[in-house]
Structure 1
Amino acid sequence: MSHTRLVRCLGVALVLAAGPVRAASDQVPAVLVDDFSYLDTSGEPVDQTAAHQRRLQDFVAGLRRDVAADARLRPVSPRCSPSCPSEASSDARLQMAAEAGATVVITGGVQKLSTLVQWARAAAIDVATRRVVFDKVFTFRGDSDEAWERAEIFVSRQVRDALSAPEPIRLALLPFELDDTSAGAALGESEADRKELQEATQAVRRVLAQSGRYRLVEPAGEPGQALRACDDCEARAARALGAQQSLLGIVRRIGRTEYVIGFRVRRADTGALVASGDSGLRLGANDSWSRGAARLVRERLLGSGDSER
Structure 2
Amino acid sequence: MRALICFAALLLMVSQAEADPPKLAVFDFELIDTSLPGEFYGSKPEEARLDRISEQLRKALAESGKFQVLDIAPVRDAARHSNLQACGGCDLKLAGQLGADLEITGMVQKVSNLIINLNVYLRDVKTGNMITAASADMRGNTDESWTRTMSYLIRNRLLAPNYGRP
Q: Describe the superposition over 1:179-225 as per-residue Cα deviations: whole angstroms up to 9, x where unpaired.
A: 11223342374332111101101111121011100001132134222
> What root-mean-square deviation, in Å, do the aligned CA atoms of Structure 1 and Structure 2 show?
2.6
2:59 corresponds in structure 1 to 206
TM-score norm. by structure 2 comes to 0.78
2:139 corresponds in structure 1 to 283
1:191 corresponds in structure 2 to 44
Deviation at 1:268, TM superposition (A): 0.9
User: Per the alignment, in what secondary structure is the counterpart of residue 175 of structure 1?
Assistant: coil
User: Per the alignment, in what secondary structure is the counterpart of residue 184 of structure 1?
Assistant: helix
8 A contact 2:53–2:150 mirrored in 1: yes
Higher helix proportion: 2
C-alpha spacing 1:236/1:306, structure 2 compared with 1 (3 Å): farther
* Residue segments in structure 1 that go unaligned for 5+ positions in a row: 1-25, 29-71, 73-164
* Residue segments in structure 2 that go unaligned for 5+ positions in a row: 1-10
Aligned partner letter, 2:67: Y
Tell me the distance in 1 between the aligned counterparts of 2:53 and 2:12: 37
Tell me the distance in 2 between the aligned counterparts of 1:255 and 1:276: 23
Aligned mate of 2:119, from 262, 284, 293: 262
C-alpha spacing 1:217/1:201, structure 2 compared with 1 (3 Å): same
C-alpha spacing 1:209/1:189, structure 2 compared with 1 (3 Å): farther
Q: Describe the superposition over 1:19-63 as per-residue Cα deviations: whole angstroms up to 9, x where unpaired.
A: xxxxxxx938xxxxxxxxxxxxxxxxxxxxxxxxxxxxxxxxxxx
Aligned ranges 1:119-138 → 2 under 5 Å: none
- Asked if 1:243 corresponds to 2:96, the answer is no
2:4 corresponds in structure 1 to none
Aligned partner letter, 1:293: M
Tell me the distance in 2 between the aligned counterparts of 1:248 and 1:207: 15
Higher strand proportion: 1
2:12 corresponds in structure 1 to 27
Larger radius of gyration: 1
Q: Describe the superposition over 1:114-156 as per-residue Cα deviations: whole angstroms up to 9, x where unpaired.
A: xxxxxxxxxxxxxxxxxxxxxxxxxxxxxxxxxxxxxxxxxxx
Query: Higher relative contact order by CA 8 Å / sep ≥ 6: 1 or 2?
Result: 2
